[in-house]
Structure 1
Amino acid sequence: MNTADIRGMTDDQLKDELLKLKKEQFNLRFQGASGQLENTARIRQVRRTIARIKTAQTARTAQAKKGS
């Protein structure tokens, strides 16, 4: 998921996607700890996507405060 996709989402969609990614991150950590994780790069991808979503949410909040 890239930045343009994230910017095109609504606030509710961002919250849902963030929740889904946090669950995936939790599961990936458990797989890594138990030695079952095959794609170790996925942890990094999920972490960065979470950061992108949080950045977009913060920017929207700042824009809303600035606009009012």
Structure 2
Amino acid sequence: MKSLELRNNNQALLNKELSDLLKAQFGLRMQLATQQLQKTSQLKKIRRDIARVRTILAEKANQK
């Protein structure tokens, strides 16, 4: 996910994206705990995407 794509979205879409990412992260953590996760690099990718969305949400909140 590119930050330019996220910057073009409004706040409601960003909140939905954040919610979806947090659910995906939870699922991956459960797979990791039960030894079912094949690609552990997915955790890092999801974590960075969450940080990206939260950063853009904070920037939009400061602009208003």
Q: TM-score under structure 2 normalisation?
A: 0.96
Q: Where does the alignment leave 5 or more consecutive residues of structure 1 unmatched?
A: none
Match of 1:45 in 2: 45
1:1-68 map, 5 Å: 1-64=1-64
Query: How many angstroms apart in 2 are the aligned matches of 1:61 and 1:10?
Result: 11
Shift >6 Å, 4+ stretches: none
Q: TM-score under structure 1 normalisation?
A: 0.91
Q: Where does the alignment leave 5 or more consecutive residues of structure 2 unmatched?
A: none
Which SS does the other structure have where 1:36 is aligned? Answer: coil
Query: How many angstroms apart in 1 are the aligned matches of 2:13 and 2:63?
Result: 18
Query: How many angstroms apart in 2 are the aligned matches of 1:8 and 1:61?
Result: 14
Aligned length in residues = 64
Which SS does the other structure have where 1:37 is aligned? Answer: coil
Query: How many angstroms apart in 2 are the aligned matches of 1:20 and 1:10?
Result: 16
Give the greater-gyration-radius structure (CA).
Answer: 1
CA-based RMSD:
0.5
